[in-house]
Structure 1
Amino acid sequence: MGSVLADLRALLALQGFRRLFTVRLVSQSGDGMFQVGLATLFFFSATSQGTAEEVAIAFAVLLAPFTIVGPFAGVFLDRWRRRQVLLWGNLTRVALTAVIAVVMLTSGVGPWIYVLALLTLSVNRFLLAALSAAQPRVVDGPLLLTANSLAPTLGAVAAGAGGLIGFVLGLGFEPGRVKDSAALVCAAVAFAVAAGLATRMDKDLLGPDRIVRGAELRGEFARTAQGLADGARYLWARRTPGQALTVMATHRFVYGVTFIASILISRNVLADPADTQAGLAAFGSVLAASGLGFAFAVLLTPTLSPRTGPHLWIAIMLCLAAGSQVLLAATLTWTTMLIGAVLLGLAAQGAKIAVDTIVQRDTDDAFRGRAFALYDVLYNAAFVGAAALAALALPDSGYSPGVFAGLAVVYVVAAVVYGRFAARTPADVGPVDRGRPARPPA
């Protein structure tokens, strides 16, 4: 614990990290507000029925386009100034979110809401990829592991806090269009603040070293597919990043089924199905428990994973996730639901921290943007696959002991297979170009 706090103090002494971290916190708090607004609308409103098929379709519609946006994001993150991406991306979200709020107030839910939501969430994933690709430019060496623990985890906490603010705001309004748009207006304000905070960083601080403009940039569209293929071949040739991304996609697939089941259980089992407000509150409790697991991950991963190594740590987290599924398969109560959420949150975030570190550490800076774009593609494609499985395998109540037992088996198999592959991989895969070193403490 003491070493973690010491590392945190060292990180916060880095001006570049501190400013990038602030942009992340504010931006992701706006994400939380936005997502609560969508969750209320799609899953916990009086007009949604909350069946397994409807929830799965909603997730598929929201996430499937990210597999198309992701490859383009990687190419541009390796050629555009990442600081400018954070600035203009957040300003774009301000405009889109404001339009969604106006449409909801004037016309209610319609096809345009889905289109605008898809665009906004696509920009969000682009920004998160930019934040991850930029982090090694402001942190280097052993502190990178702590940065990967602190930044994404506290970003998730900030998103949870923003979601809580959006939920509390909704309680002050009667059900209707004003309530649905309240969280979106607050999200637009947060995105605007994040854009302003991005301007405190130098344009070139976050890289990349080579900037492409004008006609040359337009020509990149024709080379996107080739660039993505080159990135995938590079990551697999490096072995450790490719293996880490594969196991994370597997983890995300199983996690996605559990997440969809949690929505259905919260609405149809833990609360009266006719009381959508109680269902939303129940799901909020489950998310809070998962957030507690994230907090444990930020404390335990930097302390314990250096002793085990990131590969063994990932295998341990997969086994812990299997335990959470066994618990739910045995019995479903409020206690087992919350404990399972804590364990799964710890496992998901602990594994993600280690995967982020492996990908950042073992990927050349020229490919790092594409690496995290591929990360996003696999991340969201796995959740789309999970939505399809959930629609077929889960009952409308969301609870199936057989499904949870099957998910536990998948986790155990993934842990064993990844552990064996990682054990055969040389510890040193060769040097990489990490980009400009981080600035020393002020």
Structure 2
Amino acid sequence: MEEPEGPYDYAKDPAYTHDRTEPVTPAPSGLSRTAQGIGRASRSTARAVARGSTAAYTGARKFTHSGGAGESGFSRLLELHAFNTAGDAAVAISLAGTLFFTVPTGEATGQVALFLVLTMLPFAVVAPLIGPFLDRFRRGRRWAIGATLAIRAFCCWVLAGAVVDESPAFYFAALGCLVASKAYGVTRASAVPRLLPTTFTLVKANSRISLTGTGAAAISAPLAVGAATIGAEWALRYAAVLFAVGTVLAILLPAKVDSSEGEEQVDLTPDAESRRKGLAITRAVVNGLRSNSGLRLLSGFLTIFMAFTLREPPASMGWTADPMILLGLVVGGAGAGNTIGTLIGSAASSKAPEKVVIGVLFLDVVVLATVGVFFTWWTAVILGLTVGICQSLGKLSLDAMIQRDVPERVRTSMFARSETLLQLGWVTGGLIGIGLFSLDASPQIGLLVIGALLIAWLVLVVTKARRPELGHATTPPARPAPSAQDDTLRDW
């Protein structure tokens, strides 16, 4: 038998091909199939999240940059405010978990009262000074706004460590956060007029700021809650990061925020010379401030008083489920009311904002008295919704009057000072709420007491609004009648 030349090809030999077997791929195990399914689901989820994030970013950018806001630099202020509100929401959730719900009611009452007093005292002392200070600090507004955010970033980081170590530094850092948050509202208000797009009114601008803040808080709150489930310190670290980003955005605001060209200082207790120069404010603005102070007083009262009341809801409310759910409904109602009021105010062009501010204060008083008599869980939700709507509409009406009646050269100063007064109104209402709760006042008694105070305040506002303009009845015809600016904050 002849030997084949070259290497023998067994693949062509029938004697061998029938014994050959192809390698068999083993069937995937159950664990492998599960892993593959998880991988496919993860990839699909990642793609969906990426598409959703892109759509959300695109929508948010379109909202903040529309109407010329991108060109004027107003969009940067909106982005800054979003980080500020998101950080405040995270701080509120963390402090609520560490100071409010985890300690007995008596101790929580004392701690919250201490914070309110410490927050109010600096403003009570510097309120007459902060307006003139900002007037002289015009060329550093960006740094002033950034400082309020940087201070909170630092305080939140200190708070995170103090929560773990139970350090006394906790109270000082918390105080720093609260005061810096109030100061931010004043400094940010002073910058808004400088960044207005040509097509924007102050009402529209502040409506957009409010909606931006509401949306940012709604997104940030669940993230902060998730971080707080790991530990309260993680929610505070999350807030510190948000404030740090906000600090950078504040410094990157357009340079015209610092410009003081054409601006002058508003005179709250003017003489005849100030009135002649147009540096005073009109009676309508004064009454708008009075009305909004009443609205803020009620908001501060309900925030504190209802928060403690709803820790252990009275049987008369008819609520048997988790108290946290009820508190969430009331707070959610107030937030929804604020958004509804903002939408109504930005859509409606009221020609009589001075009547709107009195009308919403009257509506608050009526609903408050009704809820005081018929106090149930659903009337409490309605009260929160009403207060949110009225506060939002009142503030937007005040903005409209400031734009209409206050000269542009003093408008920035007016915003800073009015915001200071409104902050004091909120803190005062919170202190009243703490006081009534500490006296073991029932919810009905507490609501009726604050209702009586607001009725007296409403009578004052209406009386001042109906008073004839100074000089009109006694000025001889040959002498020009004084303008509406003769009535100022001197009788505040």
Per the normalisation by structure 1, the TM-score is 0.77
Larger CA deviation: 307-316 vs 5-14: 5-14
Shift of 1:344: 0.9
Q: Which residue of 2 aligns with 1:438?
A: none
State the distance in 1 between where 2:381 and 2:408 align.
40
Q: Which residue of 2 aligns with 1:215?
A: none
Shift of 1:388: 4.0
Q: Which residue of 2 aligns with 1:187?
A: 239
Query: Does 2:336 correspond to 1:284?
Result: no
State the distance in 2 between where 1:209 and 1:20 align.
20
C-alpha change, 1:68 and 1:356, in structure 2 (3 Å) is: farther
Query: Does 2:226 correspond to 1:168?
Result: yes
User: What number of residue pairs does the alignment pair up?
Assistant: 396
Q: Which residue of 2 aligns with 1:256?
A: 300
| 382, 387, 390: which one aligns with 1:344 | 387
| Contact 1:241–1:358 (Cα < 8 Å) also in 2 | yes
C-alpha change, 1:369 and 1:307, in structure 2 (3 Å) is: closer
C-alpha change, 1:46 and 1:405, in structure 2 (3 Å) is: closer
C-alpha change, 1:109 and 1:336, in structure 2 (3 Å) is: farther
CA RMSD of aligned residues (A): 3.5
SS, match of residue 106 in structure 2: coil
**Percentage of pairs with the same residue:** 21
Q: Which residue of 2 aligns with 1:98?
A: 157
Query: Does 2:282 correspond to 1:238?
Result: yes
- The amino acid across from 2:331 in the alignment is L
- Any gaps of 5 or more consecutive residues in structure 1? 174-178, 212-226, 272-276, 431-442
Query: Does 2:80 correspond to 1:28?
Result: no
1:417-428 aligned at under 5 Å gives the runs 417-422=460-465
| Contact 2:152–2:177 (Cα < 8 Å) also in 1 | yes
- The amino acid across from 2:256 in the alignment is D
C-alpha change, 1:337 and 1:311, in structure 2 (3 Å) is: same
Shift of 1:240: 3.0
C-alpha change, 1:360 and 1:43, in structure 2 (3 Å) is: farther
State the distance in 1 between where 2:293 and 2:433 align.
16
C-alpha change, 1:6 and 1:83, in structure 2 (3 Å) is: closer
| Contact 2:304–2:430 (Cα < 8 Å) also in 1 | yes
C-alpha change, 1:403 and 1:342, in structure 2 (3 Å) is: same
Query: Does 2:407 correspond to 1:355?
Result: no
Shift of 1:113: 1.7
| Contact 1:236–1:243 (Cα < 8 Å) also in 2 | no
Greater RCO, 1 or 2 (C-alpha within 8 Å, sep 6+) = 1
Q: Which residue of 2 aligns with 1:224?
A: none
- Any gaps of 5 or more consecutive residues in structure 2? 1-61, 316-320, 470-482, 486-492
State the distance in 2 between where 1:429 and 1:7 align.
37
Shift of 1:398: 6.5
| Contact 2:189–2:419 (Cα < 8 Å) also in 1 | no
1:327-406 aligned at under 5 Å gives the runs 327-364=370-407, 367-394=410-437, 399-406=442-449
SS, match of residue 188 in structure 2: helix
1:30-109 aligned at under 5 Å gives the runs 30-46=87-103, 49=106, 55-78=112-135, 79-80=137-138, 81-105=140-164, 107-109=165-167
Shift of 1:425: 7.5
Q: Which residue of 2 aligns with 1:198?
A: 250
1:265-304 aligned at under 5 Å gives the runs 265-269=309-313, 279-304=323-348
- The amino acid across from 2:213 in the alignment is G
C-alpha change, 1:339 and 1:412, in structure 2 (3 Å) is: same
Shift of 1:53: 5.4
State the distance in 1 between where 2:115 and 2:432 align.
14
| 209, 213, 222: which one aligns with 1:155 | 213
SS, match of residue 269 in structure 1: coil
Instruction: Give the greater-gyration-radius structure (CA).
Output: 2
Shift of 1:142: 5.7
State the distance in 1 between where 2:155 and 2:453 align.
39
State the distance in 2 between where 1:327 and 1:289 align.
17
Shift of 1:57: 3.8
C-alpha change, 1:61 and 1:258, in structure 2 (3 Å) is: same
